Amino acid sequence: MYTAPPIQCIPPVGAPRLPALFLLGAYVMPNLAVIGAQWGDEGKGKVVDLLAPHFSVVARYQGGPNAGHTVVFGGKSHALHHIPSGIFRDGVRNLVGAGTLVDPDALLGELAKLRDEGVPVESRLLLSARAHVIMPFHRDLDAALEGRLAGAAIGTTKRGIGPAYSAKSQRWGVRLADLETPDDVAARVEQALGAGLAQQLQALGAAAPDPRESARLAERWWAELGPLVGDVTEELHQAIADRRSILFEGAQGTMLDIDHGTYPFVTSSSTIAGGIPASLGVPPRAVETVVGVAKAYATRVGAGPFPTEDKGATGDQLREAGREYGTTTGRPRRCGWFDAVAMRYAVRVNGLDAITLTKFDVLTGLPTVKIATAYEIDGGRTTSVPPTVRAYDRVRPVYEELPGWSESLDGVRSLADLPRNARAYLARLEELSECPVGLLSVGADRAATVIPAGSVLERWSK
Ligand code: GDP
């Protein structure tokens, strides 16, 4: 078993503010990042919801309604798309950062559901004025582009994510703050149409937006969302200055990162820990502890490299036992074995302090369990992740097979409660991943969780 590094003391609330250099040397900043370590859908929602009461702020840093986080408590399941998973916790501020995308109509639907459930969103939520808006024609473009790619389609959620991030990079995007001045929105859309968007839409058989209609939309959206829009960056800076703790919440996963994932089968933003300071406007050192959420096996939704995919009966069993169908699209997820090669890569890319391992219960009942330890490629072996899809096509995983277990993990609340074979699997997974497991999840409910002694998360579990 790996042991976590010793925990340094956190200064008590209200302690005198000290020079930054001294703070860095003497104290650990009380901030934590929870990010996806695989291909998304790892169970980040459960982990964030569980830890959120120990933080003053939960901040989402990238992605948009393509994310689908599920939080289960009180026998009820709650699906979130834009809104951080700390929204159900009293006294927690939930911030949606500058690097995210907002689809106003989808967000209004999400807000209505939360209000119906009695969640006081007005006092708990702030949307960054700098976040970009997904316009209806971004969704049309997404669908049309995917249609044209045919056999090479990325398998996007068709929520307009790629086109909205493209518009941002081309500097004709619409930001939440722009909605306050609908004429500016009309002018921006006009500018985009004149700079090539009209031709692109026409070539794809999609309708061009009417700038006046875009302005009317902006007016309606601002009337409803305006009170929730503000300076998220400033609020984060204030939280850092006050030494209030921040939980940074990721969406999607490391292998879907725009630069470091399995390009082009990736999402359009920086999902990795390095994306946090860039997307939220906080200093890199504000991201103190980083944990990566991973399933005890692996899944991927959409197209693209997935070396440990099992297209046979085991894959089907994992899909059914793990209910592996997308929260956002309902699509069946591709399922397979835990990939320690990809995990080690995620550990290094993100500087993970611990893995939070979810869905361990799903492996119960399998006669044997496998972990990919290396890849075979072109007659040799590698423990590195290939940089191209072409190379991925030639990869064959090398597996280590361990005995399974048949005992139910219901009621497991400490590592000692685990069946012997489950403990052995966990220990080998840690060893091969070169990272300790700092949280083990054995069911969707908040209670079905083990935080091992010495875990980097122990200080947030009491
Ligand atoms: P996210 O996008 O990373 O938050 O992941 P999703 O919410 O899309 O998928 C995770 C699913 O697994 C959700 O339905 C969770 O309720 C569920 N889940 C999380 N942890 C566990 C676990 O330990 N065991 C089981 N059986 N389900 C879990």
pLDDT in tens, 255-285: 999 999 999 999 999 999 999 999 999 999 9
Whether 82 is catalytic: no
Predicted confidence (pLDDT) at residue 2 exceeds the cutoff of 90: no
Whether ligand 1 lies within 6 angstroms of the CB of 139 is answered as no
State which ligand 1 atom lies nearest to the alpha carbon of 46. Answer: 19
Q: Give residue 42 CA to ligand 1 midpoint distance, Å.
A: 6
State which ligand 1 atom lies nearest to the alpha carbon of 77. Answer: 16
Q: List, for residues 18-68, the tens digit of each pLDDT value.
A: 344 334 433 444 899 999 999 999 999 999 989 999 999 999 999 999 888
Quick count: other Cβ atoms within 10 Å of Cβ 129?
18
Buried b (16+ CB within 10 A) or exposed e, 324-348: bebbbbeeebbbbbbbbbbbbbbbe
Nearest CA to ligand 1 atom 16: 444
Nearest CA to ligand 1 atom 20: 444
Confidence of residue 113 (pLDDT cuts 50, 70, 90): very high
Whether ligand 1 lies within 6 angstroms of the CB of 362 is answered as yes
The angle at the Cα of 110, spanning 104 to 115, to the nearest 5 degrees, equals 120
Whether 69 is catalytic: yes
State which ligand 1 atom lies nearest to the alpha carbon of 85. Answer: 4
Query: In this predicted structure, what is the pLDDT of residue 10?
Result: 35
Nearest CA to ligand 1 atom 11: 43
Query: In this predicted structure, what is the pLDDT of residue 24?
Result: 43
Buried b (16+ CB within 10 A) or exposed e, 148-185: eeeeeebbbbbbbbbbbbbbbeeebbbbbbbbeebebb
Within 8 A by CB and 6+ apart from 283, the residues are 240, 277
Tokens representing 449 are 């969780």
Q: Give residue 323 CA to ligand 1 midpoint distance, Å.
A: 9
State which ligand 1 atom lies nearest to the alpha carbon of 68. Answer: 2
Predicted confidence (pLDDT) at residue 462 exceeds the cutoff of 90: no
Query: In this predicted structure, what is the pLDDT of residue 328?
Result: 67
State which ligand 1 atom lies nearest to the alpha carbon of 67. Answer: 2
Predicted confidence (pLDDT) at residue 1 exceeds the cutoff of 80: no
Pocket test for ligand 1, best of 87, 358, 446 (most atoms within 8 A of CB): 358
Q: Give residue 331 CA to ligand 1 midpoint distance, Å.
A: 15
Whether ligand 1 lies within 6 angstroms of the CB of 81 is answered as no
What is d(CA 394, CA 375) in angstroms, rounded to the nearest whole number? 9
Q: Give residue 391 CA to ligand 1 midpoint distance, Å.
A: 31
Q: Give residue 1 CA to ligand 1 midpoint distance, Å.
A: 25
Q: Which of 69, 78, 81, 82 is catalytic?
A: 69
Q: Give residue 445 CA to ligand 1 midpoint distance, Å.
A: 9
Tokens representing 239 are 């939280």
φ/ψ region of 174 (left if φ > 0, alpha if ψ in -120 to 50, else beta) reads beta
Whether ligand 1 lies within 6 angstroms of the CB of 321 is answered as no
Q: List, for residues 144-171, the tens digit of each pLDDT value.
A: 888 787 677 777 778 999 999 999 999 9
Pocket test for ligand 1, best of 359, 410, 412 (most atoms within 8 A of CB): 359
Whether ligand 1 lies within 6 angstroms of the CB of 60 is answered as no
Predicted confidence (pLDDT) at residue 217 exceeds the cutoff of 50: yes
Whether ligand 1 lies within 6 angstroms of the CB of 45 is answered as yes
Query: In this predicted structure, what is the pLDDT of residue 26?
Result: 38
Q: Give residue 59 CA to ligand 1 midpoint distance, Å.
A: 20
Whether ligand 1 lies within 6 angstroms of the CB of 292 is answered as no
pTM comes to 0.91
φ and ψ of 70, to 5 deg? -110, 130
Instruction: Evaluate whether 252 touches 67 at the Cβ level (below 8 Å).
Output: yes
Query: In this predicted structure, what is the pLDDT of residue 7?
Result: 35
Predicted confidence (pLDDT) at residue 6 exceeds the cutoff of 80: no
Q: List, for residues 400-450, the tens digit of each pLDDT value.
A: 999 999 999 999 999 999 999 999 999 999 999 999 999 999 999 999 999
Whether ligand 1 lies within 6 angstroms of the CB of 49 is answered as no
Query: In this predicted structure, what is the pLDDT of residue 12?
Result: 37
Whether ligand 1 lies within 6 angstroms of the CB of 274 is answered as no
Of residues 143, 137, 142, 146, the one with CA closest to residue 162:
142
Whether ligand 1 lies within 6 angstroms of the CB of 253 is answered as no
The angle at the Cα of 162, spanning 160 to 166, to the nearest 5 degrees, equals 115
